[in-house]
Amino acid sequence: MKVYFKTFGCRSNIFDTELMKNIINAEIVKNENEADLIIVNSCTVTNFADRDLRQYINKWQDKEILLTGCAAYTQGEKLFSEGKVRAVLGHKYKEEIDNFLNFKGIKLGDFDFVNRKIVENFDKTKAFIKIQEGCDFECAYCIIPKVRGHSRSLDEKLILEEIKKLKERGISEFVLTGINMGSYGKDTGTSLSGLVEKISKIRGVKRIRLGSLEPSQIDERLIELTQNGILEKHLHIALQHTSDKMLRIMKRRNRVSSTLPLFEKLADMGIALGTDFIVGHPGESEEIWHEALENFKKYPLTHIHVFRYSPRDGTYSATLRQDVRGDVAKKRAKILEEIIKKNNYNFRKKIGEVTVHIEDYKNGYSIGYDEYYNKMKIKKELNKGEWLKVKDYKVKEDFNVKE
């Protein structure tokens, strides 16, 4: 059997797909036309994600389709009843994918599981390492706890074994990821900072990157580890908003009074800081927006992911009056992005020599990222995966370049 994998969504899904690829006893092909079976590892974080999934499945109706991932729980039954997919499989069964290549039906299972198998091969210069599943937060706009379950940590020994095996295959950068990654270890008596410290001691590991964290999940040991030369000097800490009124509506746990001092402390240590921000959520009045904007300008941020709110069926936020026009949300997003663009440029102007990990070569330039998660373009063909120190580069508007 020839199988093609299609992945939508987050880094955890990327990891899950790689896990299935490492396990499956079938020929993996590089495009849909060659496949007997398409395994779709889906995302359902927004209604738009559901739309994109349906469009993709409609496009490949001449193929057998097995749907897995988060949308299996929100769209699976409907797609199966319509005859759009042959099978729907829950997260629990991804590690048993070989047993379901000829399966027809719906099998979701429960959320009382964690990964027991590991990825031993990644075909990129860096590897995503899932350390945690599920989320115990209940943010008003988010469907993920309903399709990933409660927070649970993967076994530390398994994670360390996985990294050692991938390191032996030449991978030296590891991106730790999870659904609510900062809660790692709360159910197993360990911690994220403890895990990072152990990974840092593995010979051959040159950089550890962290996925998104909640402000309350940053402890002093983790902050100290940003100075060890292996943990990236860039933290992505999700704020989602900078008005306490809006944060209450969103059912978020963070407040400006506690997060602003944290960000200022981290910035004083030379750490680049990213965040997520949602504009246009129900209740974001002009008054709340202006309060948020004034607070936002105080944060020493260098990177941002701005999301324009869209209702996600099945969430509390979707039941609220949608009272922010799309053009207004778009304008607000643009304002935030311009602030961060200027912040990032000024941050890069102050940095001297950086360590760059090369990931690609395009149009005469090798492309990689430094320890502050800023892009560097070098006018020279270098090997993918190569590490080098770079200084005397030019700081452009959106990236650094060494001619």
Residue 86 has pLDDT above 90, yes or no: yes
The values of phi and psi at residue 247, to 5°, are -60, -35
Q: What is the pLDDT of residue 120?
A: 85
Q: Are 50 and 74 in contact (CB under 8 A)?
A: yes
State the pLDDT confidence band at 308, using cuts at 50, 70 and 90.
very high
CA 258, 260, 263, 268 torsion-angle sign: negative
d(CA 339, CA 390): 27
CA pair distance 303, 233, nearest whole angstrom: 13
User: Does pLDDT of 186 surpass 90?
Assistant: yes
Describe the chain by its helix, strand, coil percentages, rounded to 5: 35, 25, 40
290: its two tokens = 């202006």
Q: Which helix (H) or strand (E) element contains residue 221?
A: helix 220-225
Query: pLDDT per residue over 221-262, tens digit each?
Result: 999 999 999 999 999 999 999 999 999 999 999 999 999 999
126-350 to CATH, choices 3.40.1180.10, 3.80.30.20, 3.30.2290.10, 3.40.50.300: 3.80.30.20
pLDDT given for residue 264 in this prediction: 98
- Per-residue pLDDT tens for 314-365? 999 999 999 999 999 999 999 999 999 999 999 999 999 999 999 999 999 9
Closest of 16, 63, 21 to residue 42, by C-alpha: 16
Place of tokens 């730790």: 176
For residue 4, pLDDT beyond 80: yes
Q: Which residue has the tokens 């738009």?
A: 48
Single-letter amino acid code for the residue at 200? S
Q: Is 189 helix (H, G, I), strand (E, B) or coil?
A: coil
pLDDT per residue as tens digits for the range 24-57: 999 999 999 999 999 999 999 988 899 999 999 9
Three-state DSSP class for residue 336: helix
With b for 16 or more beta-carbon neighbours within 10 A and e for fewer, the 46-61 pattern comes to bbebbebbbebbeebe
**pTM given for the model:** 0.93
Residue 139 class from Cβ within 10 Å (0-12 exposed, 13-18 middle, 19+ buried)? Answer: buried
Contacting residues for 281 by C-beta, under 8 A, at least 6 apart: 141, 241, 246, 249, 250, 309, 317, 324
Rounded CA separation 99/93 (Å): 9
Return the sign of the alpha-carbon dihedral for residues 385, 391, 396, 402: negative
Instruction: Please provide the average confidence, as pLDDT, over all residues in the chain.
Output: 96
Predicted pLDDT at 122: 81
Give residue 57's pLDDT: 98
* Domain 2-107 bears CATH identifier 3.40.50.12160: yes
What does DSSP assign to residue 231? B
What pLDDT shows up at residue 326? 95
CB 148 within 8 A of CB 91: yes
Q: What's the length of the chain?
A: 403
